A and B are shown apart, each in its own frame.
Chain A
């Protein structure tokens, strides 16, 4: 594991590479800057990202291209479309029959979700409760249970997509694990020509097996190193409030508090304590990634993605943009 001393000399280069990587990826999409920015940020912060939108709005394409651009090794990427009939063994791996004869209940996880680094789960809310519960543990604790014993998972990045967020209380816990959710909308109305052109190019790439986006500027290691650096910097000083005092200017912090409070009281958006802490860290990570320093008011735009329900997401996005536009 890298130390702060090891990382400090190269951290600016890593930031630069990731930013280049982000810019490079945007070239293959039309009007998806927002989604790509968020996906890159979540990849750095190792927070799961939920893409919500109707079919055909580049959700899968975005995740697939991003993961392909990271140059993952064999078995590092796991992708699955969930249905209500999907069984846990399809995600976590089948039961090892040989071991079962010995009375132990172990799964063969090779090539499955617990064994991969990056995962993409499509239609996540259509899965059944057995899978959802397992996923909760994996997302919370980065581990799952084998024969009653917690086993760490290698998963660092999780992307999920859904057409809708069902309004069911049993799914709220899973929805809350996704700190950030973004609505992907069709872009054809505003970018008709560009969409056609880009679509034709993509088809051409697909037909020829050519994947120029895989020549990404950053590697998976860069993302992991930046995350490690952030984790270490959060713990520097070992005294409460130190990080905030150093990296979060008081007016910006007050602005964050005002917006969160306004969302809670006026729009009834539930921001749990866990979510608030994670939001702080994600905002800090974005600030560091984008400009390498203290948080600025513009970094609070991430609050636009804290909506939980499908109908909440656009309301929260426009509300946060409006409040930030008031100028503090």
Chain B
């Protein structure tokens, strides 16, 4: 019989042990005998020192002491306190060297989480391989392995895993004894069987630490001691991966295999084309563009004539100039031919615009493949059979302008006859075709090849035709008709004439005169203003004038075509209108295809024809939704793009406008243009002579600048001989000037040559760079750059302001459609938006523009209603002005007079404010507001705004000048020339007076020169003479003044440039007509729409 302590295997054992050690601490290091109940968690521990005496001493402390005796393999435990005895029939005994090792582990409910687990198994079993495989499958390559050998020499393999996978621990626990899993927390040396806990972990760990050992404690509490330091390896070191698969080795060898890769054309971003290859018929299609283009624009187009296997081909090329808008888009639109653009990295290789070569080749390969080095240009064309390589060996290109002769005659029938006998006289060059398509060389064509019909563009060889050859009565009749035409044209050229009878009469006469295209314009106008349902006879007249077709086949062909030339689109439109008007309705299916074509704002026809097609059909179909969408499409397009000078301006209007004010004379517009140019030349000559009479020392640098600037002006007006006369002395005496001036003179001379040859922007930039780099001394180089960057003729690249105005930094949130614009603008202008002012202003602008482009008045009204209240939240006034201008644009389109009044007042208040930092944005905003008011027929509000601004005294002189120049220009544009003169004269007096500093005076001078471009020639010249006479007042104090006078040069440049400019004034008049027309067209669209929708 032994005395023993009973342990229950529960949490209460902790208290028992604490009391025991407190009463008899020496028992901790004694050897214990442990008896385990194998059918329960209980255990009994006995020790030799725990005898009857000690038991008696411990009893009062309440310890569960008992006597243990073995009876027939059953352990009988009799508690000393007298409770009934306990019998363990299945029990086990072991010994423990100290108390902590005698304690049985307690089961923890569930599956506890441990920081680290140790899986221990026999190293000679399958278990290690299986465990490692599973760990690696779970991605646990961070596990470590340890090998142990016990006293008997048996190997143990252990795997240590931090944050162990609970699945594997449970599998080990559930899988019997094959794998034992231990856990520990906090780096303790005591590893306890997982799911169990030690009754006294602190003392146990401490005892191990004292001996620098670790221990694995199994479920029964038996300790397996090891050294604390384990030789761990990475799990991957314990794995010998194997792959049972056949092996094949490959060796690299030299190879000459080459693959045939066909080069093809693939889609690419659309860019402006650089050249076009045209048949003679296509070249004639340029006629409308030539008629509406200025000589300056035409001088940028060159033509070369080529012959080859495909017959005669014309090479049309645009010479790009710096800072000048491209013509490519207009040319392509007119021709209906997309053209070819240069391939990046290859100077003379061209592919269809919107296409690129695939795959991308090295430049050397490309050269070798296409023979680029031997050719002047190589153009890769494309048709249904694929690409073709057209090699142009050499070409003699001449400016297109050289091949145009404007004929001054009123006798159109005779003119037509003359033109029919016209021939091209382009110099001839040869064209080399690819070998596989090479044809025998054609016979050299005769000099009168390629006859053309009614063609002004190529140089006509005029055959003298005496007037007497024409029937006298017919001539008188023609004159009478011409007179009638002029009378009627006077009624319509102001724009906005909405009397269909006038237009129809004009059309009939023009048709009688054989001017079919102009007659078609008039019939379109008559139809538009008569409104649907359209008069069948009038529609028929339009169709005939425009050479349309009544047949279903033709309609179908035009509708399903991939592309339509402007002429084809007009024919389709006129034919549809005629069919609908005549109640011979096209098939629904055809109209379903045709309607979207005419709703597209990019279709190259007049907006009035597009609306006639849509309105006629929808009225017939009584389709309210359709007509509403059509209205929004057309108005949206107009709001976004305005009317097109090319398509919406009747051709005769341009000539009539040019003739306006010269009614008494029989002079044609071309002749008048020539006369205008002569007038400008005479004025420039007069100014030059005045300057010379004032005395010009020959060696003086300012004189040289004066000569050069006038020379450029003369060259622009066509007096190249005079220009060279002026330049020659400067050229001769170049070396006597300072280095910076020498370089600048060279640049002006280069500019002169550039103007004459029509060189590209890149060439000019290269010229400038070469000249500047040629100056070695940095200070001299700086002096050259100072003027070069400020001079309107010498600078390279676009004007900074224009470039800046194009970049919009505000982006609409993705997914926002027109219905969400009002919400966006409300959020942006709200007081708590916490956005920059410039972004808010841009947000208003973008939302208004998008709303206008939708064509829906409701959307515009909603956006404005949300934007207007928040405008005052834009603190920086210049940005607020921009936002106000955007709103004026929108309000003008709605005709909301109340809102317009408020917005205009806001703009005026901004101008008055002393917080306005810079007038630049205000000027821009005013110009935009005025343009919008003119477009939408708001002349009265425009006048009111100008009058209010004229009374404003801006905070700085510079701002005042900029504002006054804008106001003066505005008055001219709305036809108030008398008031404009007054404002401008006041401004001139101010600029030329004594009250301004040098910089402000120069800015004022430039602003005046810019504004005067909008004036008629005569008052313009008068004022410029004042400027030239008072040129000395434009002084400066820049460091470069030791070389040249910056302000004088800039003013003189601006004066000469402005004097030689005839486009701006004419554009104003054309724009005036278009503004009136747009206003009338809007009214008509709304009227027609209301008629269908009953509103």
Q: Is A97 an interface residue (CB 8 A)?
A: no
Q: Assess the B138–A258 pair: CB atoms within 8 A.
A: no
Contact: B137 with A265, CB < 8 Å? Answer: no
Tell whether A266 pairs with B165 under 8 Å between CB atoms, given A254-B170, A254-B174, A257-B170. yes
The answer to whether A323 and B174 have CB atoms under 8 Å apart is: no
Given A254-B174, A265-B111, A259:B137 Cβ within 8 A: no
Partner of B166, one of A254, A262, A326, A328: A262
* Selected contact of B137 from candidates A254, A266, A325, CB within 8 Å: A325
Check B113 for interface membership: any CB of A closer than 8 A: yes
User: Quick one: CB contact mask for B135-149 with A, threshold 8 Å, 1 for yes?
Assistant: 001100000000000
Q: Complex formed: what's the CA distance from A325 to B167 in Å?
A: 12
Q: A258-B166, A325-B137, A326-B134 are in contact. Are A265 and B113 (CB under 8 A)?
A: yes
B174 A266 Cβ-Cβ under 8 A: no
Q: Complex: how many Å from CA A262 to CA B165?
A: 7
- In the complex, whether A110 has a CB less than 8 A from a CB of chain B is no
CB distance from A215 to the nearest CB of B (A): 38
Cα A257 to Cα B174 in complex, Å, equals 11
Q: Chain B CB within 10 Å — which of A254, A257, A258, A266 has the most?
A: A258
Contact across chains for B174 and A261 when beta carbons are under 8 A apart = no
Whether A322 is near chain B, meaning CB under 8 Å from some CB there, is: yes
Are A261 and B170 in touch, CB under 8 angstroms? Answer: yes
Which residues of A sit under 8 angstroms from B170, Cβ to Cβ? 254, 257-258, 261-262
Q: Is B621 an interface residue (CB 8 A)?
A: no
Are B166 and A261 within 8 A (Cβ)?
yes
How far is B113's CA from A323's CA once the two chains are assembled, in angstroms?
A: 18
Contacts of B137 in A (CB 8 A): 322, 325-326
Return chain B residues, CB-CB under 8 Å to A262. 165-167, 170
- The chain A residue with its CB closest to the CB of B110 is A261
Complex alpha-carbon distance, A266 and B167, angstroms = 10
A254 to B166, CA, bound (A): 13
Question: How far is B166's CA from A258's CA once the two chains are assembled, in angstroms?
Answer: 7
Chain B residues with Cβ below 8 Å from A258 are 166-167, 170-171, 174
B138 cross-chain contacts in A, Cβ below 8 A: 322-323, 326
CA distance in complex: A328, B172 (Å):
10
- Kindly state the separation between the CA atoms of A325 and B174 in the bound complex, as whole angstroms: 18
Cα-based distance from A261 to B173 in the complex (angstroms): 14
Chain B residues near A266 (CB-CB < 8 A): 165-166
Which residues in A have their C-beta under 8 angstroms from that of B171? Answer: 258, 326, 328
- Give A287 to B174 CA distance when docked, in angstroms: 24
Question: Which residues of chain A come closer than 8 Å to B165, judged between CB atoms?
Answer: 262, 266
Task: Chain A residues near B113: list those with CB within 8 A.
Answer: 265
0/1 string, B158-169, CB within 8 A of A gives 1 = 000000011100
* Inter-subunit contact A259/B174 (CB<8 Å): no
CB distance from B175 to the nearest CB of A (A): 9
Given A254-B170, A323-B167, A326-B167, A261–B111 Cβ distance below 8 Å?
A: yes
What are the residues of chain A within 8 A of B166 when measuring CB–CB? 258, 261-262, 265-266
Residues on B with beta carbons closer than 8 Å to the beta carbon of A325: 137
Q: How far is the CB of A260 from chain B (nearest CB, A)?
A: 10
Least Cβ–Cβ distance between A323 and chain B, in angstroms: 5
Contacts of A313-328 to chain B: CB distance below 8 A: 322-323, 325-326, 328
CB neighbors of A among B162-191 (8 A):
165-167, 170-171, 174
Chain A residues whose CB sits within 8 angstroms of the CB of B134 once the complex forms: 326
Query: What are the interface flags for A245-262 relative to B under an 8 Å C-beta threshold, 1 for contact and 0 otherwise?
Result: 000000000100111011
Q: Please measure, in the bound complex, the distance between the C-alpha atom of A254 and the C-alpha atom of B170, giving whole angstroms.
A: 9
B residues in contact with A322, CB < 8 Å: 137-138
Q: Which residue of A lies closest to B169 (CB)?
A: A258
Binary contact track B377-414/A, C-beta < 8 Å → 1, others 0: 00000000000000000000000000000000000000
Looking at the assembled complex, report how far the CB atom of A265 sits from the nearest CB atom of chain B, in whole angstroms.
5
Give chain B residues whose Cβ lies under 8 Å from the Cβ of A328: 171
Cα–Cα, bound, A314→B248 (Å): 38
* Residue among B166, B167, B170 with most chain A CB within 10 A: B167
Min CB–CB distance B235 → chain A (angstroms): 16
Alpha-carbon gap, A219 to B111, bound state (A): 45
Q: Which residues of B contact A257 (CB under 8 A)?
A: 170
CA distance A326 to B131 in the complex (A): 10
B contact residues around A323 at 8 Å (CB) = 138, 167
Closest chain A residue to B112, Cβ basis: A265
Most interface-central of A257, A262, A322 (chain B CB within 10 A): A262
**Which A261-310 residues have a C-beta within 8 angstroms of B?**
261-262, 265-266
Residues in A75-127 with C-beta less than 8 Å from chain B: none
The CA-CA distance from A262 to B134 in the complex, in Å, is: 14
Q: Which residues of A contact B174 (CB under 8 A)?
A: 254, 258
Chain B CB count within 10 A is highest, among A254, A259, A326, A328, for A326
User: Per-residue 0/1 for B103-126: is the Cβ within 8 Å of any A Cβ (1 yes, 0 no)?
Assistant: 000000001010000000000000
- Determine the distance from Cα of A235 to Cα of B134 in the docked complex, in whole angstroms: 38
CA distance A326 to B170 in the complex (A): 13
- A261 cross-chain contacts in B, Cβ below 8 A: 111, 166-167, 170
Looking at the assembled complex, report how far the CB atom of B927 sits from the nearest CB atom of chain A, in whole angstroms: 47
Q: Name the CB-closest residue of A to B170.
A: A258
CA distance A325 to B134 in the complex (A): 9
Q: Which residues of A contact B111 (CB under 8 A)?
A: 261, 265
Chain A minimum-CB-distance residue to B135: A326
Q: Which chain A residues lie closer than 8 Å to B167 at the CB level?
A: 258-259, 261-262, 323, 326
Q: Which residues 37-68 of A have a CB within 8 angstroms of B? A: none
Complex CA gap A45/B673 in Å reads 92
Closest Cβ–Cβ distance, residue B440 to chain A (whole Å): 51
Taken together as a complex, chains A and B put the C-alpha atoms of A254 and B171 apart, in Å, by 8
Taken residue by residue from 435 to 446, chain B's Cβ proximity to chain A (1 for < 8 Å, 0 otherwise) reads as 000000000000
Q: Which residues of chain B from 638 to 688 have any CB-CB distance to chain A below 8 Å in the complex?
A: none
Task: Report B132 CB to chain A, min CB distance, Å.
Answer: 12
Within the complex, what minimum Cβ distance (angstroms) separates A91 from chain B? 28
* B-side contacts of A265, CB under 8 Å: 111, 113, 166
The distance in angstroms between the C-alpha atoms of A322 and B113, with both chains bound, is: 21
- A266 vs B138: C-alpha distance in the bound complex, in angstroms? 12
- Shortest beta-carbon distance from A255 to chain B in Å: 8
Q: How far in angstroms is the closest Cβ of chain A from B682?
A: 74
Q: Closest approach, in angstroms, between the C-beta of B470 and any C-beta of chain A? A: 70
Nearest CB in chain A: distance from B520 CB, A = 46
Query: How far is it, in angstroms, between the C-alpha of A323 and the C-alpha of B165 when the chains are bound?
Result: 10
Would you list which residues of chain A between 190 and 243 have a CB under 8 Å from chain B? none
B858 CB to closest chain A CB, in angstroms?
23
CA distance A265 to B113 in the complex (A): 8
Once the chains are docked, how many angstroms separate the CA of A254 from the CA of B173?
A: 11
Q: Measured between alpha carbons, how far is A266 from B174 in the docked complex, in Å? A: 19
Complex CA–CA separation, A325 to B171 (angstroms)? 14
Nearest-neighbor residue (CB-CB) of B139 within chain A: A322
Q: Output the nearest chain A residue to B130 by Cβ-Cβ distance.
A: A327
| Docked CA distance A269–B1024 (Å) | 86
- Contact string, A151-185, partner B, CB cutoff 8 A, digits 1/0? 00000000000000000000000000000000000
A305 CB, nearest partner CB in chain B, Å = 18
Residue of B nearest to A262 (CB): B167
Interfacial chain B residues near A259, Cβ < 8 Å: 167
How far is the CB of A261 from the nearest CB of chain B, in Å? 6
**Least distance between B1019 CB and chain A CB atoms (Å):** 67
Supply 30 A–B pairs (Cβ within 8 Å), ascending by A.
Answer: A254-B170, A254-B174, A257-B170, A258-B166, A258-B170, A258-B171, A258-B174, A259-B167, A261-B111, A261-B166, A261-B167, A261-B170, A262-B165, A262-B166, A262-B170, A265-B111, A265-B113, A265-B166, A266-B166, A322-B137, A322-B138, A323-B138, A323-B167, A325-B137, A326-B134, A326-B137, A326-B138, A326-B167, A326-B171, A328-B171
- Beyond A265-B166, A325-B137, 4 extra complex contacts between A and B, CB < 8 Å: A258-B174, A261-B166, A261-B167, A323-B167
Give the 3 A-B CB pairs with smallest separation, nearest first: A262-B167, A258-B170, A258-B167
Could you list which residues of chain A lie within 8 angstroms of chain B, going by C-beta atoms? Answer: 254, 257-259, 261-262, 265-266, 322-323, 325-326, 328
Which B residues contact A (CB, under 8 angstroms)? 111, 113, 134, 137-138, 165-167, 170-171, 174
